[in-house]
Structure 1
Amino acid sequence: MSDEKSCFSYFENLIDPFRETPDIPPPYKVSSFFYYYLKQIKTILIILLFIGLGVSLVEIALFKYVANIIDLAQSSNPEKIFGMHYKELLVMMIVILVCRPIIFALHDLLIQQTITSNMAALIRWQNHKYILKQSISFFYNDFAGRISNRVIQTGAALRDSAIQAIEAIWHVVVYTSSAIFIFSQTDWHLIFPLLIWIVVYVFFLVHYIPLIQKRSTISSETRSKLIGLIVDTYSNIITIKLFSHTKQEEEYAKKTMTEQIKTHQLALRLITEIDTALTAINGLLIVSTAGIALWLWSKNIISLGSITLAISLVIRINNMSSWLMWVVKNIFENVGVVQDSIGTISQSREIEDFDNSKTLKITNGEIKFDSVFFAYEKKHEVITNLTLTIKSKEKIAIVGPSGAGKSTLIHLLLRLHDVENGSICIDGQNIKYVTQDSLRSQISVVTQDVSLLHRSIRDNLVCGANNVSEEQLKNVIKKTKLDFIDSITDTNGNTGLDAHVGERGIKLSGGQKQRIAIARALLKNSPIIILDEATSALDSETESIIQQNLEDMMIGKTVITIAHRLSTILKMDRIIIVSKGTIVDSGTHGELISKAGIYQTLWDKQSRYLTK
């Protein structure tokens, strides 16, 4: 058993799917895209190519041996056949019982153990790793389901087309060349039907392959669109149910499914056409070859074994041609899948680290926005000539009406977008020239719209924090009133910290998710903190308790708070008023309330609302 395991393990480990590769976009051209991944395992593919040659030659040898046995049986005394021809029969037996199983075993080990899982995983890993670092805009502009589908399907499609192409090469070359050679050695008349068949077969390939690829690409695109729609529906199922939107969703899905069915049916029509035409020309090949062979035998030109060999070969070619057409169809269907995916996978990143990007080092935590301009898609200007200095360990609040640019300002600081003009510096380091990971690792963020990973509560809490001890974890759980954790269970029987929270934390209430987000920020313990309505989903009692812990967390940190409820920012060192992408005023609560302006207007509205 151990020998069996070691044999399988050896072949299973010939390809490392997680090998280090340059962090660059895959090529945009289909042929270059294929080559980019195939060259990473070229040695394995070359070995497979030569083993495929051996498999094909052994198969041809079997047909030749059958013909030889018939001729030996015809020409020899039955009682002396083993004595006279034991050497030939022994060679046949060794090839069939020893060589054939060995070469087929090597072939299967390379296909099943080395290539099938590892090659697909290698392509998926590299695509996922590249896409994971795409800008936030990339994910906002497409269905998550469609992106996921393209990452998953591309690995299998590229692998299958490569394997099938290698398998087909030797079958075509060996069977057709062997048949032509054997027929020429037997009698040249037998070659004519095969040559005519080859010409017609090649014509079919040249005619149908481009059509198959084109229609397969369209079919793959509509399939990805359908998957994206379904995943989007399931991800937002609570919205659909709350707004009684099920019927409309059924119509959306029906429309998209109908489109996908029609494009798939167009591709299937080609298959029916090909199969019908191929059956006709294969029938002509068998009939004409058999007829010529029988005529030659009737003239005593060829032996009975030669008739058997000729008919066996053309029947095998008939089967091979049907298989080959099926393989070619699959290859170009897979090429179509890859072509559909390239547009997503090979997109250049909007936000990139420079080759010489340094690690951000924070000593004080001073932040400077210097003449910053930003427009979404370079069209819709959101931030206009904004200059702001946040001193080390200063606590500021950013206030303004909806659409003023508050959240965009935070996104720019986190470098989720790059500024059009101007610069943002932390302790004198332009964030454009430091690594994104080092920048975001130094900033703790608690947002109003908390999104949790569908993983355990523990995994969500330690996200972004390194080497968290159980004692630290318990301490933060107590501070943020996460006592509800013990009552959480999942479908796999996990409880407490090990329970999974569902997609986007769907199993938890808004307040529970908010407390986990605050606890996560406390554990990260970064020198810069961003709070975007961090306590908005909490009840008054819980908010007052957690607010105290947040104030403790802010000690010695640079803090930026985005606030809509002005009562939560009264203790801030400074309040910045933003309107239409620029700073219109700043000061303490007392200074701003004493003069007419946006802040006083907002304060008066909220005060009147609270007194009603």
Structure 2
Amino acid sequence: MNRAANLIAPFARTDQPPPQTLWKFLVWSVSSAWPFLLLAVVLSMGTGTFDVLGAILLGIMIDSALASGEGQVFSENALLFMAIAAFFLILRPIVFGAFSFVQSVVIGPSLGSLVLSRLHRWTLGQSVTFFDNDFAGRIAQKQMQASRAVTEVTIETVNTVVFALASMTAATLLLLTIDWRIAILLALWLLAYLRFITWFLPRIRIRAAARAGARAAVSGQVVDTITNMRTVKLFASAQHEDDVAIKSMETYRERMIDFGSISSLFRFLLTIIAAILPVALTAAVLALWQAGAATPGDIAAVGTVSLRISQMTGWVSFTLMGIYSNIGEVEDGMRTLTPRPTITDAPDAKPLEVNAAEISFDKASFSYGRETGGIEAIDLTVAPGEKIGLVGASGAGKSTLVSLLLRLYDAETGRILIDGQDISKVSQDSLRRAIGMVTQDTAMFNRTARDNILYGQRNATEEELIAAAKRAEAHDFIQDLKDHRGNTGYDAYLGERGVKLSGGQRQRIALARAILKNAPILILDEATSALDSEVEAVIQTALDTVMEDKTVIAIAHRLSTIARMDRIVVLEDGHIVETGSHSALLAKDGLYARYWQRQSGGFLTTKAAE
């Protein structure tokens, strides 16, 4: 059973990006499952044909019985009846069972995982801007929605559409053997039925896509509120968030009503159309029988087939409605998930090779697509092992400079080099592996303390993990952690975004992560801002050790934390306006000196120099 369940590799990779047209996207999603989908198609055709064949055999059985003399029905037809019994009791169950097994065990469990894993990998490769411009909950919802919809479209197409086509083909051939005029009646009814569904289904598809978009908006809004629940509580804004959520839910409700109104009309009219078929075909074959052109077996066969097709019409139509609804959801998910990343590796990108860790900004400019903001024509070289501090009011360009170095954005003009290698021409993963970073807004996963620290180096030993935590002054408080599941110490979960920790504790775990990573380049963005003075003094000692033999860029509004750097670079309005050591800049009595003199409580404010 396990072997059969793994015939389709559920997490198979593909090197191709997701297409942005529907049919090609569906093919891309299920590409590695084609051999087993084709097997399912063959079995579905078999089950559809066997349904009609059963009616044919029933008619043959009736005609044979009527043709036999009294008391000789079984003796004269023993072999025929045994063959028909074998068909119904052995052959038909084997084909139907094989089809059910392929659908439920081979295809069903693996196909959804295959599609979801491909969409998730693609989403992971998106640029930071992609995530900045959307709700996290909405993106996750679109991944789940699209993968589920693709799976259902694929399975229902094989399970229903192929089955129905095979049944219709076999039924038409059966009716032709009886009388061509009955086959013409079926063909005319089929044309009317197809015209009916081709008018309704595109409209259902449009309304299904609108319903899916509204549902995802509700999910995104709710997740956004829950993610920021502390802010909601602090600002007593539960009523506001409720109003915002209700507005999204009302839109979703309206889209559901739109969808429900057209689907109910579709079902009502379909019931009438389906009822026409058995009435018309049965009346026609009775007329032929009365004229001596049909047998009682023909009446039984036509009646059985017409009732089966009538019943199947409702089933197929509802399934087609579901398929079209899912196609609408696939298209809606495609619009969100398939855009091409704005930051990509060059076709011939090679791994970054760091020997000395020299950083050079060569006339680098970036303004986020605006006329002002960001940085402009920055020329800056950080020597191997040099420690520099970046200083400037908010919006001066400090974070932009760091984001460009990490290649979260690409410089609009100029270039950035590490050991003479243009970072736009090396792989992004190798670039970011060479850079350790500790930020003010420390990112934590809702995983264990161990998992969060090991993010710096996932194959580190337990001894290396604990040593890093001790150097970051995190070991003692980690040992005291306990979560709601009863896990303690390094096995305790930290909550979403580390909400169970104080700001200082989160930053110490982030420091431990950076220590464990041991990258040749280190970026500190307000790395000690959430620490009290006593802990900061201890951490500063640890940082001094961590910074040894590394090239360091540190951003700080608390100037005392970077006063000991080898060099301080002062930014204003995206330009470097001063550079030098702390003492040299104070002696210069320029912008940095004014910052130093006018700090409030040791911090640099946005308007400090005004």
Matched ranges for 1:126-205 at <5 A: 126-205=118-197
Q: Does the CA contact (< 8 Å) of 1:400 and 1:598 recur in 2?
A: no
Q: Could you tell me how far apart the structure 2 residues matched to 1:466 and 1:577 are?
A: 37
CA–CA distance in 2 between the matches of 1:280 and 1:583? Answer: 78
Equivalent of 1:233 in 225, 245, 256: 225
Q: Which moved more, 1:31-40 or 1:329-338?
A: 31-40
Give the Cα–Cα distance (whole angstroms) in 1 for the partners of residues 378 and 169 of structure 2.
75
Distance in 2, Cα, partners of 1:532 & 1:559: 11
Cα pair 1:135 1:416 within 8 Å, conserved: yes
Tell me the distance in 2 between the aligned counterparts of 1:151 and 1:457: 28
Residue 71 in 1 paired to residue 63 in 2? Answer: yes
- Which one of the candidate residues 201, 210, 217 is aligned to 1:218? 210
With 57-66 and 369-378 compared, the bigger mean Cα shift is at 57-66
Residue type of the partner of 1:531? Answer: L
> What's the secondary structure of 1:454's corresponding residue?
coil
1:178-216 deviations in whole A, cap 9, x for unaligned? 333323322445335423321210111221122122222
| C-alpha separation in 2, matches of 1:39 and 1:526 | 39
Look up the SS of the partner of 1:594 in the other structure. helix
Q: Bigger shift: 304-313 or 136-145? A: 304-313
2:411 maps to 1:409:
no
Distance in 2, matches of 1:608 and 1:594, equals 22
In the TM superposition, 1:473-512 aligns within 5 A as: 473-482=465-474, 483-512=476-505
Inter-partner Cα distance in structure 1 for 2:209 and 2:569: 52
Matched, 1:560 2:553: yes
Q: Aligned with 1:376: secondary structure? A: coil
- Tell me the secondary structure at the aligned position of residue 521 of structure 1: helix
Q: Is residue 2:308 matched to residue 1:289?
A: no
| 2:434 aligned residue | 442
Identity of aligned residues (%): 37
Deviation at 1:133, TM superposition (A): 1.5
When structure 1 is superposed on structure 2, of 446-455 and 254-263 the one drifting more is: 254-263
Contact 2:523 2:552 in 1 (8 A): yes
Q: Is the 8 A contact 1:11 1:109 kept in 2?
A: no
TM-score if structure 2 supplies the norm length? 0.95
CA RMSD of aligned residues (A): 1.8
Q: Say whether the 8 Å CA contact 1:25–1:347 is kept in structure 2.
A: no
- After TM superposition, give the deviation of residue 487 of structure 1 in Å: 2.5
Greater shift, 352-361 or 175-184, is seen at 175-184
Q: 2:538 aligns with which of 545, 567, 578?
A: 545
Is contact 2:494-2:500 (8 Å) kept?
Answer: yes
1:96 maps to 2:107: no
Give yes or no for the alignment of 1:41 onto 2:33: yes
* Residues in 1 aligned to 2:552 and 2:396: alpha-carbon distance in whole angstroms: 20
Q: Distance in 2 between matches of 1:78 and 1:526?
A: 96
Which residue in 2 is equivalent to 1:278?
Answer: 270
Partner residue in 2 for 1:569? 562
CA deviations on 1:426-462 (whole Å, 9 max, x unpaired) are: 1111111111111111111000000101111111101
User: Structure 2: any 5+ residue segments left out of the alignment?
Assistant: 604-610
Equivalent residue letter for 1:226:
V
Tell me, what secondary structure is at the counterpart of 2:599? helix
Maintained 8 Å contact 1:213/1:333? yes
Instruction: Tell me the SS of whatever aligns to 1:451.
Output: coil
Alignment correspondent of 2:360? 368
Structure 2 equivalent of residue 4 of structure 1: none
Matched, 1:308 2:300: yes
| Aligned partner of residue 606 in structure 1, secondary structure | coil
Cα displacement (A) at 1:90: 1.5
CA–CA separation in structure 1 for the residues paired with 2:242 and 2:399:
35
Matched residues in 2 for 1:262 and 1:578: separation? 52
Q: Is 397-406 or 188-197 further displaced after alignment?
A: 188-197
Whole-angstrom distance in 1 between the partners of 2:572 and 2:239? 41
1:300 CA displacement: 4.5
Matched letter for residue 344 of structure 1: T
Give distance in 2, aligned partners of 1:443 and 1:609.
Answer: 28
* Amino acid of the structure 2 residue aligned with 1:68: I
Match of 1:87 in 2: 79
Which residue identity is paired with 2:338?
S
Q: Distance in 2 between matches of 1:107 and 1:579?
A: 70
1:327 matched to which residue of 2? 319
Q: Which moved more, 1:156-165 or 1:451-460?
A: 156-165
CA separation of 1:295 and 1:569: change in aligned 2, threshold 3 A? same
Aligned residue for 2:576, secondary structure, equals: strand
Task: Tell me, yes or no, if structure 1 residue 115 matches structure 2 residue 102.
Answer: no
Amino acid at match of 1:565: R
Residues 594, 35 of structure 1: alpha-carbon distance in 2 compared, 3 angstrom cutoff:
same
Counterpart of 1:89, as a letter, is: F
Higher mean C-alpha deviation, range 465-474 or range 54-63 = 465-474
Distance 2:389 2:236 in 1: 39
Q: Of residues 350, 364, 384 in structure 2, which corresponds to 1:392?
A: 384
1:536 aligns with 2:547: no
Residue 308 of structure 1: how far off its partner (Å): 2.1
Shift of the alpha carbon at 1:39?
3.5
Name the amino acid aligned to 1:123: V
Quick check: 1:513 aligned with 2:506?
yes
Separation in 1 of the partners of 2:545 and 2:523? Answer: 15
Letter in 2 for 1:376: Y
SS of the residue corresponding to residue 436 of structure 2 reads strand
Task: Give the CA deviation at 1:513.
Answer: 0.5
Q: Distance in 1 between matches of 2:158 and 2:467?
A: 60
- Distance change (3 Å), C-alpha of 1:373 and 1:197: same
Helix, strand or coil for the counterpart of 1:25?
coil
The correspondence for 2:346, drawn from 346, 351, 354, is: 354
Amino acid at match of 1:583: I
| Alpha-carbon offset, residue 293 of structure 1 | 3.2
Per the alignment, residue 12 of structure 2 pairs with 19
In the other structure, the counterpart of 1:524 is 517
Of stretches 44-53 and 373-382 in structure 1, the one that deviates more from structure 2 is 373-382
Contact 2:56 2:174 in 1 (8 A): no
Specify the code of the residue in structure 1 equivalent to 2:24.
S
Give 1:529 shift.
0.8
Aligned partner (choices 3, 18, 22) of residue 10 of structure 1: 3
What is the alpha-carbon distance in structure 1 between the residues aligned to residue 142 and residue 371 of structure 2? 29
Aligned length: 602
Q: Specify the SS of the correspondent of 1:491.
A: coil
Alpha-carbon distance change, 475 to 196 in structure 1, aligned in 2, over 3 angstroms: same
Q: TM-score, normalised by structure 1?
A: 0.95
Residue 526 of structure 1 aligns to which amino acid in structure 2? A
Q: Structure 1: how far apart are the matches of 2:334 and 2:371? A: 27
Judge conservation of contact 2:12–2:32 (CA < 8 Å) in 1.
Answer: no
Distance 1:535 1:407 in 2: 16
SS at match of 2:208: helix
Name stretches of at least 5 consecutive residues in structure 1 with no aligned partner: 1-7
The alpha carbon displacement at 1:475 in A equals 1.8
Residue identity in the other structure for 2:570: I
Q: Does 1:459 align with 2:451?
A: yes
Provide closer, same or farther for how the CA distance between residues 78 and 566 of structure 1 changes in structure 2, counting only shifts above 3 A. Answer: farther
Distance 1:20 1:279 in 2: 45
Question: Any idea what SS the aligned residue of 2:588 has?
Answer: coil
Do the aligned partners of residues 530 and 215 (structure 1) sit closer, same or farther apart at CA in structure 2, a change above 3 Å counting?
A: same
Provide the secondary structure at the position in 2 that maps to 1:404: coil
**Which amino acid is 2:268 matched to?**
T
SS at match of 1:501: coil
State whether residues 171 and 320 of structure 1, in contact with CA within 8 Å, keep that contact through their aligned partners in structure 2.
no
